[in-house]
Structure 1
Amino acid sequence: MSETLSRKPVDAGDINDAITGAHAALGGRQKDDGHWVFELEADATIPSEYVLLEHYLDRIDQEKQDRIGVYLRRTQCDHGGWPLYEGGKFDLSATVKAYFALKAIGDNIDAPHMKQAREAILDRGGAARANVFTRIQLALFGEVPWRATPVMPVELMLLPRTAFFSVWNMAYWSRAVIAPMLVLGSLKPLAVNPRGIHVQELFVRPPEEVRDWIRGPYRSVWGRVFKHLDTVLRPIVPMLPRKMHQKAIKVAIAFVEERLSLGGLGAIYPAMANVVMMYRALGVPDEDPRAATAWQGIQDLLVKKDNEIYCQPCVSPVWDTALSGLAMLEAASGPHATKRDETVAALKKSAAWLRDRQILDVKGDWAINAPDLRPGGWAFQYENDYYPDVDDTAVVGMLLHRLDPEENREAIERAREWIIGMQSTNGGWGAFDINNDLELLNHIPFSDHGALLDPPTADVSARCVSFLCQLGHAEDRPVIDKALEYLRAEQEREGCWFGRWGTNYIYGTWSVLCALNIAGVSHDDAMIKRAVAWLEDVQRPDGGWGEDCASYEGGAPGVYKESLPTQTAWAVLALMAVGQRESDAVKRGMSYLVSQQDEKGEWHEEPYNAVGFPKVFYLRYHGYKQFFPLTALSRYRNLSASNTGRVEYGF
């Protein structure tokens, strides 16, 4: 973009003032025990599901429901429905759930906002066209027959890892959600629903008259094949031996209870809610420690502020602590360091907190494909021992290494060993599993969300490369070189990289360029030059960068209607990593960041900045807009005083 806006060039004093303010603001958010945790917000779906869960159980807390209602009404859009992210298009499934929830809360269906939502739903085919998870929710309330959902017999739990439909071929989040859901599908319980809330007005045709619940658009011819298989299996499943059926239920329950902790099953809301409903369907009293633990895990996800409440999909303390720590450490580095001794002392507490949460004695689900590998990773949440992820582990490892490689030696070495052992055969890393890439599974009717798997991705792989290169063990070079080949192959034709876990191509490109730099790839490499040219091309006239979730849905990579602090920080960090610190693009990016900081030392942005499942589920990390700009500003300042002018770390 050649057009530019006039802006006062940023000078060293401006940068230092911005760093000082941001450092104080972020430091002020650190907990007494050393960790950070920020809100993690999704769309209206999770708060709506929470409302319906209370009605399913007859555990209605009207005060909570009313405050969730305030949140839901505020997030309704002009198109009448609810989007999956700020400014997004109408989403049928999210809107069906939000309407159902508001009706359950007590909203009159003739109120203007309800009438508008209902008309929008009917204009798009009605609730019968909602996605699989929404139809399962409706089936639990008796709004649709169970034949509205795909065939998913609980006997799947008995299949060995080598079987095509085995749950072990699915991603961690899929296994955690499916295991209790299969029990629900087997028992087919009906919600207590004490107020008798129903939403038949959302159907174009009465549900009992609908015959084509499972239909396209299909991703390939395999979708039609699996639809036919679903039709064939329907009359067969009820005829399976009763002993096998009961055994499968017991296996599913055992799977859940082995992994149930204070963080809930998988520490993600959909799995946690399914467990609560499963125990109720099994007749387990709410006071039973298992049911009580599952319920409390959900309560811990609620965010209460002002007159609103919403429910998070999960919490992110390990991720937030590692990223905040790296930002604080960058600000405390170099000759112009901000409160070096005080910062290091505070981060020593963070390191101790993180070391206490390293998973060293639990072989999680990842061990199915790596049985001889020692545990050594970190989970995303406070407690989720069966599901550590390599992205968190790499970032925590980089922080511990930068902070004090000797004091943290054992933790770093265990993390290194685990990450190396988690590399997939194509050279990349998935988030939670090895070689979890049986793509055909994403074509089964249940997987209309297209997110049943956890294949290697460029952003996670880049983080692993950065961590291993930062440690500098010569014997790790074959692992790194194999990963670099993977990253080279993953570059998009525009010159960017796809961001699986952050929005989107700017995030992916930042991740990869940091890795390529520390891995020693020449800044003159054609791959890097193409990426730099792309970043410069998508810079906005005001000096910032912006990208929203539409880029996951066919929108242009790296383009948005406004600049955003988070994306701008990623872009300038990417450019500085490959020798562009003195470029006009970076200087303009720095000027933008300084100009957007408020008097409290913080930044503000409303658009979502991450993704759970592209096209299905998006996230807003409330901490990103605080710690990434601080990292970028501090890096810019520190490189000016560097002897080499080269970024020496993997982040």
Structure 2
Amino acid sequence: MATLPVSSTLLAAIDAAVDRAAAALAQAQRPDGHWVFELEADCTIPAEYVLLRHYLGEPVDSVLEAKIGRYLRRIQSADHHGWGLFHAGAFDVSASIKAYYALKMIGDDVDARHMVRARAAILQAGGAEAANVFTRIQLALFDAGPWSAVPTMPPEIILLPRWFPIHLSKMSYWARTVVVPLLVLCALKPVARNAKGIKVDELYTGRPAHRKTQAADPKWLWTLGFNGLDRLLKGVDGLWPRKLRQRAIEACKAWVTERLNGEDGLGAIYPAMANSVMMFDLLGYAPDHPQRAIARQSVENLLVIHEEEAYCQPCVSPVWDTALAAHAMMEAGGEANEARAEAALDWLTLRQILDVEGDWAEERPGVRPGGWAFQYNNHHYPDLDDTAVVVMAMDRAQVADRGPIDRGVEWTVGLQSKNGGWGAFDADNAYDYLNNLPFADHGALLDPPTADVSARCVSMLAQLGEPLDSPRMAAAIDYLRREQEPEGSWFGRWGVNHIYGTWSVLCAFNAAGLDASDPAVAQAVGWLKRIQNEDGGWGEDCASYALDRSGHAPAPSTASQTAWAMLGLMAAGEVDSDAVERGAAWLADRQEADGLWGQEHYTGGGFPRVFYLRYHGYPKYFPLWAMARYRNLKRSNPRRITVGM
């Protein structure tokens, strides 16, 4: 393999950077072999955690509340005086209402400067009337807002047959787990038992609300129909047959109980977990009742408590972190690093889900389970993205037991959607009309196939030798071609955004044998080079998820996005390009004293336009991975890079 000369000084710097980063990453590995890093969302999760404690009337933990208060005040914007959905993000009225309410509940004086400024910004944006559905529910639970402002969600939904247009199985896993306990809350309309009785009347303007949906492509006819249905349901509220209502509530309770998931919680995500606690409380379960107690503990397990500050995570990411860190360590090479990766794979092997048919089986009965979840445990909801990455790591390490690989592949191919792509948790979860429901104003009710997850599945199949012309591979490649944006990028659903999606697909195309001569590859390479920042790195703002799909939103360079761009370009045969060399130099120059990289910018996607994630592990393992690959390719060491990622 011929390569162009690269500065010996740069290559030496990269050697040193790789060694330091690998050593630092090794130090972060847990004794049992896994990695897990903090997963930070916006202000809403810690704010909701504070409100949950007060809703339940629990004793005030003044030390913890003080730490959460300091966290919320620190991330308040100095520019717009409210709270955004990501670092340096624009003002968000719903997030700001929750943060303001939590700070008031903690005891902040409403006349304090930060509260006055936040209140003014909220009122300027339309006040509490402009809040999204889930914020209006939060307010109603404290009698701080009317239940009439909340779309009606009768619990009888859970009794509907599957052929009915509105059915739980047609929603995404996260929507299901959040909504089912919420159906009970919205039916019985409880009021918080906090002794303070604190409300936020000062956030209301008294003017009609002007709310906007975040759904990507709302249809006026569906919206009109669902809004009419909501008015009808409000008109008959209270007239439901008592036995039918009780049967529906019992069905909701049974559904939650079956999926309670131990101390990892319902769906292993905070909103569902918190709703399950409130549901059990409302149904009269004592705090020491086993189901309520374990649900409550699952919430506590999400806390990150530092010396001065604390916050609550939306979930945890150990399987994802461990699989990706293992890839990075294998890329770095050397006996010690490869031993670390092997220990990680041993830990991952034990977490394969082989004995639970999760909700995915409703759409694909007969497919044997075999995936991995994102969190420590989430047996009803394995993740196709995680599964593909774990399988590729195991294959890369040439593990002796191919059983886990075979079962992972079997489950993955069983969940390929009809259009050739893959969603994250379900097959064919693309009932777009449901995003027009009044309580779906977040526009994230569904889990349709996406380019990034599909690319990972293609990478996995190609790495394992799937022929390019096999029916399932041909359908997947065709899907990815159709998904390419006009300028050459791919939309990244689970990472920010076009850089993430383009990295994912270029790696998949490379693994499948599509080289730089392919027009789709050439167009993507040209796009990545055009958006490179002057400093040599790459960056993209979360605003790139705009409703108008306007494309890449320029932003300061970040370590993780620079790594993704480099990996994508190298997969397309661009290792000798000036763009990749400048990216490597950017990373080498910005490595911190601890051997890793810092990054405050959010580069993870939760739900486009409404929820973003800061993976604290991303600037730790992705730059190591990219720099080690650059070094390996420059030194003609293809053994470490003949993988799908």
Q: TM-score range by the shorter chain?
A: over 0.9
Partners of 1:22 and 1:168 lie apart in 2 by: 44
Q: Deviations over 1:437-470 (max 9, x none)?
A: 0000001110000000000000000000001111
2:273 is aligned to: 272
Partners of 1:134 and 1:158 lie apart in 2 by: 26
2:21 is aligned to: 22
* Equivalent residue letter for 1:250: E
2:389 is aligned to: 395
Q: CA deviation at 1:213?
A: 8.5
Residue 575 in 1 paired to residue 574 in 2?
no
2:3 is aligned to: none
* Distance 1:308-1:215 versus aligned 2 partners, 3 A rule: closer
Q: Deviations over 1:590-641 (max 9, x none)?
A: 1111001012211111110111111100000000001000000111111123
Q: CA deviation at 1:214?
A: 7.2
1:560 is aligned to: 554
* Equivalent residue letter for 2:561: Q
Equivalent residue of 2:605, what SS? Answer: strand
* Distance 1:647-1:31 versus aligned 2 partners, 3 A rule: closer
| Aligned partner (choices 574, 577, 586) of residue 580 of structure 2 | 586
1:225 is aligned to: 225
* Equivalent residue letter for 2:570: M
Equivalent residue of 2:614, what SS? Answer: strand
* Equivalent residue letter for 1:296: Q
Q: Which moved more, 1:107-116 or 1:155-164?
A: 155-164
* Equivalent residue letter for 1:117: A
| Aligned partner (choices 578, 592, 605) of residue 611 of structure 1 | 605
Please list, as runs of the form range in 1=range in 2, the aligned pairs for 1:101-120 lying within 5 A after superposition: 101-120=102-121
2:235 is aligned to: 235
Q: CA deviation at 1:557?
A: 3.4
Q: Which moved more, 1:566-575 or 1:473-482?
A: 473-482
Alpha-carbon contact 2:144-2:200 (below 8 Å) kept = yes
Q: CA deviation at 1:513?
A: 0.2
Please list, as runs of the form range in 1=range in 2, the aligned pairs for 1:457-468 lying within 5 A after superposition: 457-468=450-461
1:347 is aligned to: 341
* Equivalent residue letter for 1:13: A
Residue 535 in 1 paired to residue 528 in 2?
yes
Please list, as runs of the form range in 1=range in 2, the aligned pairs for 1:88-107 lying within 5 A after superposition: 88-107=89-108
Equivalent residue of 1:618, what SS? Answer: strand
* Equivalent residue letter for 1:252: C
Q: Deviations over 1:539-564 (max 9, x none)?
A: 11111111120111258634434111
Q: CA deviation at 1:251?
A: 0.6
Alpha-carbon contact 1:83-1:89 (below 8 Å) kept = yes
Partners of 1:162 and 1:437 lie apart in 2 by: 15
Equivalent residue of 1:139, what SS? Answer: helix
2:487 is aligned to: 494
Q: CA deviation at 1:342?
A: 1.9
Please list, as runs of the form range in 1=range in 2, the aligned pairs for 1:128-143 lying within 5 A after superposition: 128-143=129-144
2:399 is aligned to: 405
Q: Which runs of 5+ in 1 are unaligned?
A: 1-6, 333-339
Q: CA deviation at 1:17?
A: 0.4
Equivalent residue of 1:472, what SS? Answer: coil
* Equivalent residue letter for 1:36: W
Q: CA deviation at 1:10?
A: 5.3
Equivalent residue of 2:235, what SS? Answer: coil
* Equivalent residue letter for 1:71: Y
1:48 is aligned to: 47
Q: Deviations over 1:79-104 (max 9, x none)?
A: 11000001111000000000000000
Alpha-carbon contact 1:68-1:310 (below 8 Å) kept = yes
Q: CA deviation at 1:583?
A: 0.6
| Aligned partner (choices 467, 482, 499) of residue 506 of structure 1 | 499
Partners of 1:154 and 1:245 lie apart in 2 by: 7
* Equivalent residue letter for 2:224: R
Q: Which runs of 5+ in 2 are unaligned?
A: 1-5
Partners of 1:234 and 1:54 lie apart in 2 by: 30
Q: Deviations over 1:30-80 (max 9, x none)?
A: 000000000000000000000000100111322111110000000100211
Equivalent residue of 2:523, what SS? Answer: helix
Equivalent residue of 2:380, what SS? Answer: coil
* Residues matched between the structures, number: 633
2:350 is aligned to: 356
Equivalent residue of 1:193, what SS? Answer: coil
Partners of 2:338 and 2:503 lie apart in 1 by: 26
Q: CA deviation at 1:234?
A: 1.4
Equivalent residue of 2:264, what SS? Answer: coil
| Aligned partner (choices 464, 467, 470) of residue 471 of structure 1 | 464
Residue 180 in 1 paired to residue 173 in 2?
no
2:152 is aligned to: 151
Alpha-carbon contact 1:490-1:497 (below 8 Å) kept = yes
Partners of 1:56 and 1:251 lie apart in 2 by: 24
Q: CA deviation at 1:11?
A: 2.5
Q: CA deviation at 1:173?
A: 0.1
Alpha-carbon contact 1:545-1:558 (below 8 Å) kept = no
* Equivalent residue letter for 1:162: W
Alpha-carbon contact 1:55-1:193 (below 8 Å) kept = yes
Q: CA deviation at 1:480?
A: 1.3
Partners of 2:316 and 2:201 lie apart in 1 by: 35
Q: CA RMSD in A?
A: 1.8
Q: Deviations over 1:403-431 (max 9, x none)?
A: 12323x00000000000001000000000
Q: Deviations over 1:115-153 (max 9, x none)?
A: 111111111111011000000000100112211100110
Alpha-carbon contact 2:324-2:621 (below 8 Å) kept = yes
* Distance 1:555-1:167 versus aligned 2 partners, 3 A rule: closer
Equivalent residue of 1:358, what SS? Answer: coil
Equivalent residue of 1:620, what SS? Answer: strand
Alpha-carbon contact 2:384-2:457 (below 8 Å) kept = yes
Equivalent residue of 1:619, what SS? Answer: strand
Partners of 1:549 and 1:599 lie apart in 2 by: 28
Partners of 2:640 and 2:308 lie apart in 1 by: 49
Partners of 2:468 and 2:259 lie apart in 1 by: 35
Equivalent residue of 2:505, what SS? Answer: helix
Partners of 2:317 and 2:507 lie apart in 1 by: 23
* Equivalent residue letter for 2:74: R
Q: CA deviation at 1:229?
A: 2.0
Q: Deviations over 1:236-261 (max 9, x none)?
A: 24322221111110110000000002
Alpha-carbon contact 1:430-1:436 (below 8 Å) kept = yes
Q: CA deviation at 1:217?
A: 8.8
TM-score scaled to structure 1, two decimals?
Answer: 0.95
Partners of 1:555 and 1:19 lie apart in 2 by: 37
Alpha-carbon contact 1:514-1:577 (below 8 Å) kept = yes
Alpha-carbon contact 2:632-2:638 (below 8 Å) kept = no
Q: CA deviation at 1:175?
A: 0.2
Alpha-carbon contact 1:577-1:647 (below 8 Å) kept = no
2:203 is aligned to: 202
